[in-house]
C-alpha cells in the first residue's frame, strides 16, 4: 500500500530527457514496464512549443526483471514526487502528465502536493475485465508471485499505428510480483480520488486493450476537481502516447497546460 505521507526523501534518478526552457513545465511519467522513451515524442513536441519537459525512467524499469519485481509503489511515488519538486524549482507552473501506471502515480502525487494540473492517459482504475477481472488477476499474481514466476506480454502492447514502435523499449516479460503491486496501486489510488482537487484532463483510448474500458468515466466522476475534462482517442490502443491520435493528444495537453499557466 502507498502511504499518504510524503516520500520525497527517496533518491531521484537522472532525467532520461530534460528540456528546460520556460516557466511552464510538464513532468512526463511513463507506464508499467515501459521507459521514458515512450514519452520522448511528447517531450519533443512540448519543447517545440517552448514548454519545459522532463522525463525519467522509473526505478526497476529499463533494468533487470529482478529489480523490476522488487521495486515498491512507495519508491515509485517518492521518485515522482522528487522529480516534480525538482522541475518546480525552475518552472512557475508544472503539469504532471502520467501514462497508465504513471497516471496513477500522478493522482497519488496530487494528494501530497498542490500540483498545478494533471493529465492522465489511459490510467487504469481497474484492469481489463473491471472489478471481477481485478479479483482474478490479484489472486493469480499473488500465487504465481510467491514462486517468482513472470508473464510474457502476449501482444498487449499492440498499436493501431506501428510507426513509432521503436519507442517500446520496456520489459518483454512482467513478474507476477510486479503485477500484484500494480493491482495494489490501482486499489489505493481509487481510495484517494476524492482528495484530488487539481485541474485534470482525463484521456481514454477507445480501443484500449489493457485496462477497464470505463476507467476514464470512473476517474472523472470520482475526483473533486473544479475543472475536469475527458477526451477520447478514437484511433488509439493502450500505448496512446505513440499511437495514431498522438498529435491530437499532444495538442490537447499543450492547450490544457497553457490555459492553467495563464490563470
On whether the CB atoms of residues 88 and 112 are closer than 8 A, the answer is no
pLDDT at 14: 43
The share of the chain scoring above pLDDT 70, in percent, equals: 92
Confidence band for 62, pLDDT divided at 50, 70 and 90: confident
pTM of this structure: 0.91
pLDDT at 157: 61
Q: Give φ, ψ of 18 to 5 degrees.
A: -150, 110
CB-based contacts of 171: which residues, under 8 Å, 6+ apart? Answer: 33, 61, 65, 68
Full set of structural domains in the chain with CATH: 17-261 (3.40.50.1820)
Q: What is the mean pLDDT of the chain?
A: 90
Rounded CA separation 120/186 (Å): 13
Instruction: Give alpha helix (H) positions in 89-166.
Output: 101-109, 130-146
pLDDT at 254: 97
| Predicted confidence (pLDDT) at residue 172 exceeds the cutoff of 90 | no
Bridge-based pairing state of the strands 17-19 and 52-56: antiparallel
Amino acid at each position: 500500500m502507498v502511504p499518504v505521507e510524503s516520500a520525497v526523501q527517496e533518491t531521484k534518478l537522472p532525467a532520461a530527457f530534460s528540456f528546460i526552457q520556460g516557466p511552464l513545465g510538464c513532468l512526463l511519467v511513463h507506464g508499467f514496464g515501459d521507459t521514458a522513451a515512450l514519452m520522448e515524442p511528447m517531450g519533443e513536441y512540448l519543447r517545440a512549443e517552448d514548454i519545459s519537459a522532463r522525463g525519467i525512467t522509473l526505478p526497476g524499469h529499463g533494468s533487470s526483471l529482478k529489480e523490476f519485481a522488487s521495486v515498491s509503489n512507495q519508491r515509485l511515488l517518492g521518485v515522482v514526487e522528487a522529480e516534480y519538486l525538482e522541475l518546480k524549482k525552475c518552472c512557475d507552473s508544472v503539469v504532471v502528465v502520467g501514462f497508465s501506471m504513471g497516471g496513477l502515480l500522478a493522482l497519488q502525487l496530487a494528494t501530497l502536493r498542490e500540483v498545478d494540473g494533471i493529465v492522465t492517459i489511459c490510467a487504469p482504475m481497474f484492469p481489463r475485465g473491471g472489478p471481477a477481472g481485478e479479483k482474478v488477476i490479484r489472486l493469480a499474481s499473488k500465487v504465481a508471485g510467491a514462486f517468482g514466476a513472470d508473464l510474457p506480454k502476449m501482444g498487449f502492447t499492440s498499436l493501431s499505428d506501428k510507426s513509432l514502435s521503436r519507442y517500446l523499449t520496456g520489459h518483454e516479460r512482467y513478474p507476477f510480483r510486479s503485477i500484484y503491486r500494480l493491482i495494489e496501486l490501482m486499489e489505493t489510488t481509487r481510495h484517494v480520488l476524492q482528495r484530488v482537487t487539481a485541474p485534470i484532463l482525463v484521456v481514454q483510448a477507445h480501443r484500449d486493450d489493457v485496462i477497464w474500458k470505463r476507467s476514464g468515466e470512473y476517474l472523472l466522476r470520482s475526483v473533486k476537481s473544479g475543472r475536469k475534462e475527458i477526451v477520447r482517442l478514437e484511433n488509439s490502443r493502450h500505448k496512446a502516447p505513440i499511437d495514431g491520435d498522438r498529435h491530437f493528444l499532444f495538442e490537447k495537453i499543450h492547450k490544457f497546460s497553457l490555459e492553467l499557466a495563464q490563470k
